[in-house]
Structure formats: C-alpha cells, structure tokens
Structure 1
Amino acid sequence: MSDLTVSHTFGNDGQILVTIGGRLAIDTVAGFRAFLTEQLPQAATVKLDAASLEEIDLCGIQLICSACHTALCAGKMFAFSGGIPACVQTTISSLGLQGYDVCKYNSDITCIWCRGVN
C-alpha cells in the first residue's frame, strides 16, 4: 500500500475537488487534516474523489465525517465525487455504518456514507 496522496482543483463556482489515494489511516490522517483545515474555508462546496484509495481505517472514516460536519456547520456542501471505493465500503460495513440514512450530527441530512451526497 502506498502512502496518502492528495491533490485538489478549484472550480470557478467555488467548488474544490479533492482527490485522495493510497492509505488514509492513523499514520496519514494528520497531513490530510492539515490540508482540509487550510483549504475548506476557501470553498463553498467540497467534492471528495476517493476512487484511488487503497485502504482506510476508522481514523480515516472519522476524519471525513468531521470534515463533512465542519463544512455543513459553515453552510457549505460536502459530498463524494463519483462512487465510494470498495475499501471504504468494506470499512463502513465492518464498522456497522451502512444502515444509517441520515446523520444525527448534521441536522438529519443524508449521511455521506450511505448515499455519497448530502
């Protein structure tokens, strides 16, 4: 497995597309958190392309949940771009998250883990 790779592009509409690949795990989340903390204030909409992820653990899942919550609290949209990769779906299933349609922490909007959008 490779280390985490992160890239991004800004659209003219205030959208940022963040592309991540490799491993989003306990030893790589700090760098991704720093990146999100720096970039999130500049975007109205965050789209996360995780198609190139090879591995994700609970820390990675929690960081994405936290980023989603932070964005929504700031009046921004946060969603996956495209589908959710198999490694993410496997981790979601092993954590028991697949049965949630809404997120009780974000005003009962659609949970990104179950629908990919909010």
Structure 2
Amino acid sequence: MAFKIEENENKVILRIEGAMTVYEVASIRSELAGCLEKSKGLVLKLDEVSDCDTAGVQLLCSAYRTARDKVRTFSVSGAPDVVRDAIDRIGLDPEAFFTTDEEA
C-alpha cells in the first residue's frame, strides 16, 4: 500500500494505492487523520485501490464522520469496482459515496 498526497490551500488530495482491507486500515486511518488535521478538506482518490473489504468501507464511513465533526469537506472519487462491490455487499448505495473528479 502506498499514498500520494497533493496539497493546496483548501484541501488535501490523498491517493490510496493498493488494498483497503482489515490489514491496512490502521495505517490508512493514521494518514487520513493527519490529512484532516492540516486542511479544510480532503479528497480521497481511490482509482488505484486493488482490494477492499468491510473494514475499508467502515474506514470511509469513519473518515466522512470525522470530517463532518471537524467541519471539513470530504469527498471520494475514482473508486474501482472492488470498492463499489464492497459497499454494495454491506447494503449501502455505492453512488451515494462518490463524487466526480470535477466535483472533488
């Protein structure tokens, strides 16, 4: 798993590469927390995610709630089928999670 970070004055763009599973969520959570602390907004780019399970979906939900509680903007874009399928498997609407790259 790897991260690529782009920053500007309004938001941090965090690209996650690799798996978002129970084995990686602790390090992803740490990276997300740091990004939410130093910016007014966070965009997660997931187009390079290769695997996602329920723990990865829970992490997305937790990041959204944390951003909302800290009055930060939060969006997710570029999710591949593995992420959409994981969201769908737990009974949520994948389309409700994501924005287009233009909206992000």
| Structure-1 separation of matches of 2:97 and 2:49 | 18
Please give the alpha-carbon distance, in whole angstroms, between the structure 2 residues aligned to 1:53 and 1:115: 15
Match of 1:88 in 2: 83
Partner of 1:114: 96
Which range moved further: 56-65 or 31-40?
31-40
Alpha-carbon separation, structure 2, partners of 1:88 and 1:35: 19
TM-score, normalised to structure 1, is 0.77
* Conserved? CA contact 1:21–1:53, under 8 Å: yes
Whichever residue aligns with residue 5 of structure 1, its letter is A
Equivalent residues of 1:92, 1:113 under 8 A apart: no
- Cα distance in 2, alignment partners of residues 38 and 115 from structure 1: 21
Query: 1:107 aligns to what?
Result: none
Q: Provide Cα deviations, 1:31-56, integer angstroms capped at 9, x if missing partner.
A: 11111122211111100000000101
The alpha-carbon distance between structure 1 residues 29 and 115, as it changes in their structure 2 partners (threshold 3 A), is closer
What stretches of structure 1 move > 2 A for 4+ residues in a row? none
After superposition, residues 1-118 of structure 1 pair within 5 angstroms as 4-11=1-8, 13-81=9-77, 83-98=78-93, 114-117=96-99
Aligned with 1:43: secondary structure? coil
Between 33-42 and 16-25, the greater mean CA deviation after superposition: 33-42
Q: State the identity %.
A: 25
Which has the greater radius of gyration?
A: 1
Q: CA RMSD in A?
A: 1.8
Aligned residue-pair number:
100
